[in-house]
Every structure is written in C-alpha cells, then in structure tokens.
Structure 1
Amino acid sequence: METISFNDLPKEVAKQGEMLKEIRALLINIPTLINPPIEEDTIFTVKEASSYLGYTVKSIYVKASARQLPHHKKMGRLFFSKLELDEFIKKGKRKTLEEIQEEANQFKEKRR
C-alpha cells in the first residue's frame, strides 16, 4: 500500500469518489445483466413460465391440463406466451373498496 501525503489527500479522495461512482453504476446494471429485459412477444417453456409466474413446474403442468393457464401445445410440448400470461395475471385483479363502492353507486343511479 502506497503512502499518501497530506497534500495529496484531496486528489486521492476525489479519485476514490470517482471509483465509487463507477462501482455504483456497475451495481445498478447487475439486474439487467443477470435477467435481461423480456421482449413483449416472448415464448416461454414450462420451466421459464414457472419462473416468470412463481409457480412450480408441476403446478404449471396441472394448471395447463386443467385449462386454467393459457398455453400452446406443439409436438407434445407446452409453450406459453408472455402476453397471454400477463393477461391471465391481470384478469385476477381484485377490486379495491373504492372501486366496489363506485360500482354500487353507479348501479343505484341506474335503478332510479
């Protein structure tokens, strides 16, 4: 380790600050390097779909065979469209109390 004089201290602190900025920039980009962004029309295998949805592979097979999960079957293999899986997820949205109250108010107004 090299010895730094008191006069060189401000330069060294600035250099350390620049190194920290570079490290921070690298750390911010790690999620994109490990899991690159998925294209909108991506086709998933069963394993990829299980990872994307957070279900086990077995659950994916069970839900697909029960036709609870949108899927495509080609040559005996299951495939899943990211767009269709996103729609499947969005259909499961639970309404907030405000949304339910607003619907009730609209229903009342129509009946009058």
Structure 2
Amino acid sequence: MNLSFEQLPEAVTNLTKEVSELKQLLISKEQHSAEQPEKFLTIQQAAAFLSLSVPTIYSKVSKRELPFMKQGKRLYFSLTELTEYLKNGKKKTFAEIEAEAELYLSNNKKSAAL
C-alpha cells in the first residue's frame, strides 16, 4: 500500500490507535491469566487428561518423562506443564517442513552470495 505525504498523518493516527488497542488486549489477557490460579491434577486426573492408564503415568514419572511434583506420598501434575508436554510432542506437517526448508535455503543463498 502506497501512501501519499498528505495521507501519512492519518495513517500514523490509525496505526497508533490500533497499537493502543492491541496493548489493551494484551494487558487484559495478562490480568485474566494472572487471576486464574494454576490448576493441579491428581494422578487419576492426569491419566484421564493424557488418555493414559495410571500405571503408564507411574512408569513415565519413574523415567522422568512427565513433569510432576511430589508432596509426601502423593503425586501432582500441573495442567499447564502437561499441556506443554503434549505440545512438545507435536510432529510437523510436510507443509511446515517444506516451508522451513525453503526459508533455510533462501537464507543460505543470501549468505553464500556475500
């Protein structure tokens, strides 16, 4: 989009307004997430959340494959950490791999030209 010199003040005003709105959204989201206390799960709840059996959860805990906390003889699991654990196991699609490869090649062509 090409702007003329005369359109520039209005464009800057609109951009400033949009940035301000984004900032307010981020602040409200941050406050909302700060208001919600972290949720902890028992081993049975964690097993249900991960769709695994309780013995499998015990096995993963003993191998330190799952993030957990221990209080006395009880195990607890952070819902946030379990969600991250699941996300870390995400496999990339062929399209994502191809896009990364193209980006890598285009960046290396620029470096090789220098």
Range of TM-score over shorter length: 0.5 to 0.7
Q: Gaps (5+ residues) in structure 1? A: 1-38
**Match for residue 76 of structure 1?**
73
Aligned-CA RMSD value: 1.3
Shift of 1:61: 0.4
- TM-score normalised by structure 2 residue count: 0.61
| Residue in structure 2 matched with residue 106 of structure 1 by the alignment | 103
Q: Deviations over 1:37-82 (max 9, x none)?
A: xx77221111111011110000000001101111001112110010
Higher helix share: 2
CA contact (8 A) 1:44 1:79 kept: yes
Percentage of identical aligned residues: 38
Could you list the runs of 4 or more consecutive aligned residues of structure 1 that deviate by over 6 angstroms after TM superposition? none
Q: Is the 8 A contact 1:40 1:83 kept in 2?
A: no
Counterpart-to-counterpart distance in 2, 1:72 and 1:63: 13
2:91 to 75, 83, 94: 94
Larger Rg: 1
Corresponding letter in the other structure for 1:108: L
